[in-house]
Structure 1
Amino acid sequence: MSLPPVKTRERLSEVRYEIRGELARRARELEGQGRKLIKLNIGNPGAFGFRAPEHLQRAIADRIADTDPYTHQQGLPQAREAIAAFHKQRGTPNASPERVFVGNGVSELIDLSLRALLNPGDEVLLPSPDYPLWSAATILNDGRPVYYRCLPENGFLPDPAEIASLVSSRTRAIVLINPNNPTGAAYPRELLEQIVAIAQRHKLLLMCDEIYDSILYGEAKFEPIAPIAGDLPCLSFGGLSKVHRACGWRVGWAVLSGDPVASGNLHHAMDLLGALRLCANVPGQFAIEAALHGEDTIAPLCAPGGRLFEARRAVIESVDQSRHLRLVAPAGALYAFPAVTGAAAEGFDDHRFALELLETEDVLVVPGSSFNVPYRNHFRVTLLPQPDDLREVFRRVERLLDRYAQADAGAQAAVA
């Protein structure tokens, strides 16, 4: 007798995460057949030869004998002290160890904080494009994502007037991703001040994903939002995975700033949820103090001659030489978000393009629509490969887009 299939949560049908989805599964199949792929779908430094800095590795190794027990649900006291001190240096109001939460990466803390905040039907204002975990966590915690546009013609920066127009009686929070994934936009202070003013006017929580805070190029500057927000409750997210190239350690943190009385209920809710999962990964927490108060190892990688800077240069120059692409140059983070234009863009579908690029050119990218945008002519690449590898990627992209443009020209000629 056959058993009926196990039913799963209906809202999962609304969740997308193509970064590790269907295309990534097809890539594994092709690799199983012996194909050598260039995979640009995940911002995973260790997969491209980067290593976590040695002084962080030593910090864990020196304390490995102390990592067996559970720790406090909010994290190791010395780790939270180091995070609070780092935020005090930035000017974060009311930054204290008691208001720091350490989690298994920022991903866990995004889910935990939204679970603490949302009742069914509550709304969260999210950027479009967004990192899709934010949408997924909102949906799976019974909230409703409401998107404000970050348009390429505006440098992928949001319009505060549009954000204000989207606020309703059910809105609970405004989410910012700065520097942005997938676009690399870095938000100027004046823009952040306008968004803070909206949140203050409507008594909204600010949630700022700042995991790429020190990955900046050229004259770009990172502006933390908590000092601007002042007494307004604000959650600032950071971690070791990107700036410190330690993704697998799963160490992230959230700092709850602003008026402690106004945010007291949220603090207690997050503490309860943290306790239910006992604690975060302990060994990685011993690296936090060394990461935040030790040697700066990311700035040289982002400066001219540094690997990330030169990878970004390779992408910019490749797009400049392309007949079919345009790009808003990323100011920060680990990604570029090119657009397909002209004849190659006629009838273009980003998912079909990504699949064909994988099948015919052995390159894996993420379709732009995976980041919750209404248009379908963008794709995301990571800047982590060697610069020459990225130049080769864009030669292959150009070959495929040439075929698209030629097909369009043939169709136009047939009509004529």
Structure 2
Amino acid sequence: MSRRSRGSNTWEVRASTLARNTHNLIRDIVENLQVEPNPNKQLIALSVGDPTTFGNLNPPEQVIQAVRESNEWLSSRSYGPAKGHLEAREAVAKYSAHQSNEEISPEDVVLCSGCSHAIELAITVIADSGQNVLVPRPGFMIYKTVAEGLGINIKYYNLLPDQQWKVDLEDLENQIDDDTAAIVVINPSNPCGSVYNKEHLSEILDIASRNHVPIIADEIYEHFVFSNHEFTALSAVSKDVPILTCGGLTKRFLVPGWRMGWIIIHDRHNVLGKEVRKGLSNLATRILGPNTLIQRALPAILSCTPQSFFDDVVLFIENQAKLAYDELRRAPGLRPIMPQGAMYMMIEIKTSLFPSFKNELQFVERMVAEQSVFCLPGQCFAYPNFMRIVLTVPEDILREACQRITIFCKDHIVSRETLKEIDSNLVNVSSDSEVICDSGPALA
């Protein structure tokens, strides 16, 4: 960057390198859509990962009351310690006891301004410019947003859609090099909704251990698991791999706007040492600590929220996942993959069956224009030919959205005759069918 000389007669003010190199892929794509919804149909946005958007999911009274009481305390209006008030960190340590076979100390906890801030601190404390961090593909792109502005490279390892989005272990290990500072594991997954069992977590940990690479565990959706699945914290399985676990109130307690997250340091053999702990404390001072109003309410929020509240929310989302899966597997040219948890579903778009669209972004844009349904294209997660939907919307709205998506697919899928001309072996067409119906992997 050129510097102007003292006494220059012109203004030369530029954005910093950090600012120029910081991009939020989801925001970039959403804000640059060159399309208007169908004015005759109410827009249904299945795109935003905010469970409060439609007003049908709300925190319980105990959570609201805890904040009301916090508002009466003088200390809830003042600056707190950069790492967070001791009482709040003690509450997080107790709430997170399932993450370790050993007692978690409040000194292992750093409170943050939401889980995204926790992710930023975890990356920033462990990686330098020129190093790389391994991130799942598909995966949440806040890692790319944070890292690239700092000159930290993102390398992707693949997930396997035909194996419930398990990690491609061979690909993961192949991505590790001398400059790899950390591996990111998102479990339960955004955007996939996968939930890894202990065996698979152990396989991931074995790779990290062999290569001496620490892990950043994104577990903001911990306990968000459906029937016949169980959440296991990565740190509870680790024998020697140091783990920085990122979590928070956002999703499970349905309060994303309260911006309360945390990092928990799991370092059984003191691999990270005092330097990384001190580094996290240093970085926390950049914002002078998170929201003290919510900090003061945190002990009551974490201890008094009834289990029945969590159970009801997860059951609702599981039923929504079943609804969407049953509806969309009938949509010609689509292959939904049933999630095991979180609040999203990934859907494959068999783009070869929609030749009028160059990619899934055009597919999604046209669906907004014709059916006023907006899903996030796979490009938002570095994963083309897929789209993601959010499952937290009311049942009637989700059903309507799925029906519109099905209509859109029927309107645009290639005809039997044209398909035969393209590739007679691509799909088996039923003799009594008006349209090509996707029966699963056969259309892959």
What is the TM-score normalised by the length of structure 1?
0.90
**RMSD over aligned Cα atoms:** 2.7
Native 8 Å contact 1:12 1:140 kept in 2: yes
Aligned to 1:175: 184
Residue in 1 that maps onto 2:78: 69
Confirm or deny: 8 A CA contact 1:93 1:230 kept in the other structure. Answer: no
Indicate which of 39, 46, 49 corresponds to 2:52. 46
User: Alpha carbons of 1:184 and 1:348: their partners in 2 closer, same or farther (altered >3 Å)?
Assistant: farther
* % identical aligned pairs: 24
Equivalence for 2:370? 360
Please report how far the alpha carbon of residue 178 of structure 1 lies from its aligned counterpart in structure 2 after TM superposition: 0.3
Counterpart-to-counterpart distance in 2, 1:260 and 1:267: 14
Residue 190 of structure 1 pairs with residue 193 of structure 2: no
User: Whose helix fraction is larger, Structure 1's or Structure 2's?
Assistant: 1
Letter in 2 for 1:233: P
CA-to-aligned-CA distance 1:365-406 (integer Å, 9 cap, x gap): 100121012xx2110000011122112112211222223214
Match of 1:300 in 2: 312
Taking the aligned partners of 1:249 and 1:345, their CA distance within structure 2 comes to: 42
Whole-Å Cα distance in 1 between the matches of residues 35 and 87 of structure 2? 41
Whole-angstrom distance in 2 between the partners of 1:8 and 1:57: 40
Asked whether the 8 Å contact 1:174–1:204 carries over to 2, the reply is yes
Counterparts of residues 271-350 of structure 1 (less than 5 Å): 271-294=281-304, 295-296=306-307, 297-303=309-315, 307-341=316-350, 344-346=353-355, 348-350=358-360
Alignment of 1:148-167 (within 5 A): 148-167=157-176
Please tell me whether residue 382 in structure 1 is matched to residue 394 in structure 2: no
CA distance in 2, matches of 1:362, 1:2: 48
Distance 1:411 1:227 in 2: 51
- What are the Cα deviations for residues 51-96 of structure 1, in whole angstroms up to 9, with x where unaligned? 1221111111112133111111111211100111122344354521
SS at match of 1:261: coil
Report the residue type matching 1:332 in the other structure: G
Residue number in structure 1 paired with 2:277: 267
Of 58-67 and 83-92, more deviation after overlay is shown by 83-92
The answer (yes or no) to whether the contact 2:188–2:221 under 8 Å persists in 1 is yes
> Unpaired segments of 5 or more residues in structure 2?
1-8, 425-444
Rg: which structure is higher? 2
> What's the secondary structure of 1:279's corresponding residue?
coil
Pairing 1:131-280 to 2, within 5 Å after superposition: 131-259=140-268, 261-263=270-272, 264-280=274-290
In structure 1, the residue matched to 2:109 is: 100
State the 1:109 CA deviation. Answer: 1.4
Could you tell me which runs of 5 or more consecutive residues in structure 1 were left unpaired when the two chains were aligned: none
Q: CA deviation at 1:354?
A: 1.4
Tell me what 2:62 maps to. Answer: 55
- Give the 3-state SS of the residue equivalent to 1:321 in structure 2: coil
Distance 1:15 1:277 in 2: 21
Asked if the contact 1:27/1:364 (under 8 Å) is kept, the reply is no
The answer as to whether partners of 1:23 and 1:364 remain within 8 angstroms in 2 is no
**How many residue pairs get matched?**
409
Query: Is 1:308–1:383's contact at 8 Å kept on the other side of the alignment?
Result: yes
Letter in 1 for 2:120: D
Structure 2 length as normaliser, TM-score? Answer: 0.85
Change (3 A) 1:407 1:349: farther
2:72 is aligned with what amino acid?
A
Inter-partner Cα distance in structure 1 for 2:193 and 2:351: 24
Displaced runs of 4 or more, over 6 A: 1-5, 411-416
Could you tell me how far apart the structure 2 residues matched to 1:414 and 1:288 are?
Answer: 60
- Higher mean alpha-carbon deviation, 101-110 vs 87-96, is at 87-96
Post-superposition CA distance 1:262-288 (Å, at most 9, x none) = 222111111001012111111122343
Does structure 1 conserve the Cα–Cα contact (< 8 Å) formed by 2:351 and 2:360?
Answer: no
Structure-1 separation of matches of 2:191 and 2:396: 22
Per-residue CA deviations over 1:241-280 (Å, capped at 9, x if unaligned) read 1111001101111101113732221111110010121111
